[in-house]
Structure 1
Amino acid sequence: MRSFLAAIMMFTRLPLWRVINVDKRYFTDVIKFWPLVGFLTGTVTGGVLWLTAQILPLEVACILAIIARLLLTGALHEDGLADFFDGFGGGTSKEKILAIMKDSHIGCYGTIGLVLYFILYYSLLSSFDPAMIFPIVIAADSFSKLCTAVMINTLPYVRKEEESKTKLIYSKVRTLIFVIVGLITLIPFYFLKDASFCFAMIPTILTAIALRFFLKIKIGGYTGDCCGASVLIIEQVFYLSVLVIWCRHQFLF
């Protein structure tokens, strides 16, 4: 339970630290609960989108939902995405990539990456039927975090602990734990009411595998910024895959 609370404190801005004290050692175990935190952030994002879409244009509802998630997470993953694009866009060696990602200033590649990310995210959200968006958002949030957690569990951390932004290194997670958590992340798929949407998991998993090999080749492992960037990239692939399946249904039926 302490590790789960630590995960909420790590990946959201909810002020649990005001009412409960969690020892630092529990924060090394947060990765296994990251997909479950995705249920929380996905529920808030999807809930805001669905509720506001009842009274406002869908385009406005999508923007409000994105803002809600940014406020809830503190733009933690978006910060990593910007550093990821700066590092891999401007770095020509492992040392240069890591040095650029550690720099707190955003560069050209990071700016372009964030702009393109938000355009794609908004476009994908606004393409769905509001009646089905709630379970899609929860599924996307939790499953992308599961894929990212499994991915980094197979990679070494490439910085020293004291160089980490969070000053800690995540502990390795047993496969059985991921199997159990993975089964939980499948729950939102039931509410999509069409088994064909499960095929969206295939390109999503393949993207995680591709990112895993990319990180291994380029820097030999992962950093915190790589975690944030990976979960957002994988999430967008999931949304895109679901949209392709949904458009195919619209065309056929």
Structure 2
Amino acid sequence: GAHAYSRLMAVMMMQLLPYVADIDASKSKPLANQRLQWYEVLIACIGGVGVWYFFEPIWWLALTLSVLLLLYLAWYFKKWIGGYTGDCLGATQQVTEVCCYSGFIIIWKFILFGILPL
């Protein structure tokens, strides 16, 4: 769940910011330098969020934390480099996945202590 969802966060970063790496100076052909079509984003959303439909709504809080982190990272990348690079997408994926897992742990602790219902 969290791995697919974090990949979706990288796709959303591609939709939010322009690609800023120098394509001509790159040793590899960049694949993430253009925005996706609306139906491609829809397919990514179904793949990244579809599995969460089967979870209890309380677990969706972990997703909310990742979305807030995505928005912060988008602001940060825009401020410092004017957009995103492939490294930014990789960092976004890794950090949002860890955030999602951390959210699971925090929510689970609140459930164990009886603060949140399951």
What's the TM-score bracket when you normalise by the shorter of the two chains?
A: 0.7 to 0.9
Name the residue aligned to 2:15. Answer: 153
The ranges of structure 1 where at least 4 consecutive aligned residues each deviate by more than 6 angstroms after the TM superposition are none
Name the residue aligned to 1:197. Answer: 59
Q: Does 2:64 correspond to 1:188?
A: no
TM-score (norm 1): 0.42
Q: Percent identity?
A: 29
Supply the distance in 1 between the matched residues of 2:27 and 2:19 (Cα, whole angstroms): 12
Letter in 1 for 2:73: L
Distance 1:236 1:220, change over 3 A: same
Letter in 2 for 1:237: C
SS in 1 for 2:21: coil
Supply the distance in 2 between the matched residues of 1:155 and 1:186 (Cα, whole angstroms): 21
The offset of 1:220, in angstroms, is 0.4
The offset of 1:215, in angstroms, is 0.2
Q: How many pairs does the alignment contain?
A: 114
Distance 1:217 1:205, change over 3 A: same
Supply the distance in 2 between the matched residues of 1:249 and 1:230 (Cα, whole angstroms): 28
Alignment of 1:164-183 (within 5 A): 164-170=26-32, 171-183=34-46
More helix by share: 1
Name the residue aligned to 1:225. Answer: 87
Aligned pair partner of 2:106 in 219, 232, 244:
244
Asked if structure 2 preserves the Cα contact closer than 8 Å seen for 1:146 and 1:182, the reply is yes
CA-based RMSD: 1.9
TM-score (norm 2): 0.84
- Please tell me whether Structure 1 or Structure 2 has the larger radius of gyration of its CA atoms: 1
